[in-house]
Amino acid sequence: MPRHRDVIPAMSLSPLEIDELTRLEEAMWSEASRYDAAFQERRFADDFFEFGRSGRTYARAQAILPESAREVIRARLPLDALAFRRLDTHTIQVTYNSHVEYEGVVEHARRSSLWTWTEGAWVMRFHQGTPYEP
């Protein structure tokens, strides 16, 4: 399976950008940061929204999960088929396949996130998960 360093986009990313966006994307699958409201507040743009794997649409407020909602996240890391595409000077699309276990069943999704560099930090503007069968 390709890893992020195997992808060479038309407008290439720096190694620092690749490492930071990889860390941020994988942090979304870690309980330590996924249920850290302060982390999420910093990383979700004000206009963030998500089309979930379930087909539901989530606004920013719904995506910021409190510590009280904490549950074990059984996602396969490192992320599978992780790739990056620069859309403009300050916007990167990150795509990958997720494999997450829920109650003994592994659900697969093709994932896409849009990250924008704003005010000295990367913020996620949009995320989508589309189910697929491998």
Residue 36 backbone dihedrals phi, psi, to 5 degrees: -100, 100
Query: Dihedral sign, CA of 76, 129, 15, 34?
Result: negative
What tokens appear for 117 in the block? 């560099």
Q: Is residue 9 very low, low, confident or very high in pLDDT (cuts 50, 70, 90)?
A: very low
Over the stretch 40-94, which tens digit does the pLDDT of each residue have? 999 999 999 999 999 999 999 999 988 888 888 899 999 999 999 999 999 999 9
Residue 116 inside a domain? The answer is: no
Residue 15 inside a domain? The answer is: yes
Residue 83 inside a domain? The answer is: no
pTM above 0.95, yes or no: no
44: domain range? 1-76+122-134
Rounded Cα distance, 86 and 65, in Å = 29
Residue 52 inside a domain? The answer is: yes
| End-to-end Cα separation, the chain, in angstroms | 13
Residue 81 inside a domain? The answer is: no
Number of domains in the chain: 1
